[in-house]
Structure 1
């Protein structure tokens, strides 16, 4: 009787392990990887098969471990996440890729989605939202954080600079304030963002408009009808 019970228990345990969603965690920060591993291993229905510190290592481990879902950071010194996603897609990898990153700028979001990512979440997402997103990704469903979804909509609807990428809603807000002579510090205060974020938006604006400074950006925006 006891042996039968033990056998049944072992069978159920093995069945539960097979049903668990297997994960590969890709992030260049050991603390982040440890945190994600601990979080998923403490929750039922998940198994962390391995960790990678960069895109190149992620490709090797994905081939060896065949996870259901890959949690992928984007900006890593060991190979970019977008390049890794693109290569996984080219190889026809079974794993679904869920981007988990700090960045939600258009220059990060759009390339990752276009490369083949199934979902895109920010690292400040609540724990339960992350669990739900991984389950959805494992089923092949698209998952986007509200901020990212909003950016994608803006990218589709935004006016395009000739020969360049579309300006996001936030970039157009920053550009309008620059046109009024507002300083970076004042822009940050008005939009409730940091000065560093303002500088990032300006860098993206300059690249998209093909200019090198604030004055040229404003002139180009008026010339192209982006500013009325």
Structure 2
């Protein structure tokens, strides 16, 4: 049986993030996410320290680890120099590597994030490039994004940007050498492997749902 605590310990962020939590709750008190969601970084740290496999597995399957905004306010206030935000980073990675993220509705959103922001970085060099924004994913914007996509070149020209063209300026076209370097960075850091894990995890999830539907 896999030891989830052992997997967590393999990441330097976990080692630096959990030194000696005394369960004081300062991290939860300062956490912006805790103010809006049913999210408690103090409890996550407390549960992780039990090293109980089933407890940690339930955390890896939960929505909780996807609620953190990574502002790291927790790091600035912890009296024992813990960083719950780092712990969340590692929990997310282990959840993705083990495929447990598919049990969470927020976790399953990682596929869309990977296919939008992740692909945008590799294809354009930008986290969010206007040309890759899908209006159907942002209904709250109304018709704005569709209009931007149709009139982008003229619009960004008026804003002083070099809209997806070689040279200097905002939203300029990133050269192939730079994009190649980005690909290399993603390969060397394991990001591409993690992308594959997300795709495979969701594929297995869909296959499992299909088989379950057939049995019914």
TM-score, normalized by the shorter chain, greater than 0.5: no
**Structure showing greater Rg:** 1
- Structure 1 length as normaliser, TM-score? 0.30
Higher helix share: 2
- Structure 2 length as normaliser, TM-score? 0.32
Question: Using CA pairs below 8 Å that are at least 6 residues apart, which structure has the higher relative contact order?
Answer: 2
Higher strand share: 1
